[in-house]
Amino acid sequence: MTLPIDEQVAILMRGVEYGDDEIRRIMEKELRERLAEGCPLRVYCGYDATKPDLHLGHTVTMRKLRQFQELGHDVTFLIGDFTTRVGDPSDKDSLRPQLTTEQIAANARTYAEQAFRILDPRRTHVGYNSEWLSKLSFSDVIKLASHFTVQQFLVRENFAKRHAQGDPIWLHEFFYALMQGYDAVAQNTDVQIGGTEQLFNLMVGRKLQEAHGQRPQVVITLPILVGTDGTIRMSKSQGNYIGISEPAETMYGKVMSIPDHAMPNYMNLVTRWAPAEIAQLEGRIVTGDLHPRDAKMMLAREIVSIFYGDEAAQTAEAHFRTVYQERELPAEMPEHRLSGPVNVVDLIAQLKLTSSKSEARRLIEKGGVRLDGKRVDSIETVVQPGGTQVLQAGRHKFVRLVS
């Protein structure tokens, strides 16, 4: 049974941010008008294949796609295999590295499988924007560019900052917005979803659709999920991410490592909790009725449960209690990714837990190094990747090792 228009709009506009009340009014009005026509809307969001793993930050927009699916609309999970060749400069203060076609293909290989942990695979179309972008001629690109001025691009915060500092802005970076805008044209999109930093690119899509005789898409932008550092956007390149395919215990531990002040951001963007539930939790924290640590454990349990179920979430919590709380390890500690086996002495020196390898050897010989609470007895010990481990050097130095 189809929900009344007002209820659909309330669901689909929940959590949406533009930073401009007039834009919100226009988008809500246009969304209402399209819903009133009674036809399924063509909705999409694009995901560049810059890295092989999707993380919690990606799920913010995917959850909105899922809401559209549940209301009966046509959803496309678009893999930006062509736009990845340029790299989105929207949230960057410097040039993004360009990847090869082979690297992009390797990164994108499991994207759809990972996305189906949020999206309904039976109702999801998976597309690749190379299908149309690779076929554009140089003449086509010139026509697309003729609809915009250089000034329109230079007022963007990231470009304006680089321009003011005298840092280079490469011409091909301007093409990204044109390519993403053309994605909307190629699909004759009704609705495009993105992060708030993507607003300019999504509005470019509206302009290009109008230029091609199409009705401009409704733009829906959502807030950014901060990384485990609690400060900057979650990003694999920054190492502050929580992968949606990581083991449940790793996922739980990473959520527990976020600063207390970042909890509302996570509660609002990546949980199934209603706004009233979140407000109640925040109120209890403020009054002291709920300790922030306990609230964070509830948050970690909720996030793990979304991807692995309640039983796995309970097991991950039990592991956390055993490894961290009962051994009095700090929940917040630096994190290091193991790319392969490594000698424990080399690892300690690399992480600067001691001033030298010789000091690391002496510390091991004195029984001052532990791995997951167990004493490291030999300087020949090799630390193997696998799940989450805690390396302790001395009484007060800890590093979380992840794979």
pLDDT of residue 330: 67
How far, in Å, CA of 163 to CA of 303, rounded? 40
Spell out the residues 6+ positions from residue 161 whose beta carbon is closer than 8 angstroms to its own. Answer: 93
CATH entry, 248-325, from 3.30.930.10, 1.10.1200.10, 3.20.20.450, 1.10.240.10: 1.10.240.10
pLDDT tens for each residue of 70-127: 999 999 999 988 888 775 554 444 445 667 778 888 777 888 889 999 999 999 999 9
Q: What is the DSSP letter of 260?
A: G
Convert the pLDDT of each residue in 134-171 to its tens digit.
Answer: 999 999 999 999 998 888 888 777 777 887 888 877 77
What is the secondary structure of 60-113 as a DSSP string?
Answer: HHHHHHHHHHHTT-EEEEEEETTGGGT---TT-SSPPPPPPHHHHHHHHTTHHH
Angle subtended by helix axes 248-256 and 310-320, to nearest 10: 60
Tell me what percent of the residues of the chain surpass a pLDDT of 70: 94
The Cα-based distances of 189 to 73, 197, 202, 262, 396 in angstroms read 12, 20, 11, 34, 55
Phi, then psi, of 191 in degrees rounded to 5: -140, 135
Amino acid at residue number 379: I
CA distances from 127 to 53, 66, 267, 324, 328 (A): 18, 16, 30, 43, 48
CATH of domain 335-402: 3.10.290.10
Cβ-count burial 187-201 (b if 16+ within 10 Å, e if not): bebbbbbbbebbbbb
Q: Which helix (H) or strand (E) holds 346?
A: helix 344-350
Domain ranges of the chain: 5-222, 248-325, 335-402
Q: How far apart are CA 143 and CA 196, in angstroms?
A: 27
For the stretch 23-75, pLDDT in tens is 999 999 999 999 999 999 999 999 988 777 899 999 999 999 999 999 999 99
Those residues with Cβ within 8 angstroms of residue 310's Cβ, 6 or more apart along the chain or in another chain: none
User: For residue 303, what pLDDT is reported?
Assistant: 97
User: Are 272 and 306 contacting, i.e. CB atoms less than 8 angstroms apart?
Assistant: yes
Taking CA atoms, 89 is separated from 48, 152, 173, 301, in Å, by 12, 15, 7, 34
Q: Does domain 5-222 have CATH number 3.40.50.620?
A: yes
